[in-house]
Amino acid sequence: MNFPFLLGGMALWVNIGDKAQKIAEVARQQGIFILAEHAFHLDQKNDQDKYIRLGFAGQNEQQLKQGLLRLKSILIEYVCKR
């Protein structure tokens, strides 16, 4: 898993390797709203199913911490146990 260090913006794009759409679905079921890259492709043939978008605009520090801790368990289950 990796992501670039950015100096601005309202979201991070995280390369999780694969299963981005599945992880976004599981996260949504647990009250975490993230989007997989397929939501942003005009041509779905370009979808590699490896990026998730973590938006942080409008979230306070406590909300970010709670969301990331919940997302951490999902990522451990779907990314780290390959």
Supply the pLDDT for residue 43: 87
Q: Produce one character per residue of 46-66: b if its CB has 16 or more CB atoms within 10 Å, e if not.
A: ebebbbbbbeeeeeeeeeeee
- Compute the average pLDDT of residues 58-82: 89
CA distance linking residue 52 with residue 42, whole number of Å: 16
pLDDT tens-digit readout, 15-57: 999 999 999 999 999 999 999 998 988 888 888 999 999 988 8
pTM score over 0.85: no
pLDDT-derived band at 4, boundaries 50, 70, 90: low
pLDDT at residue 63 above 80? yes
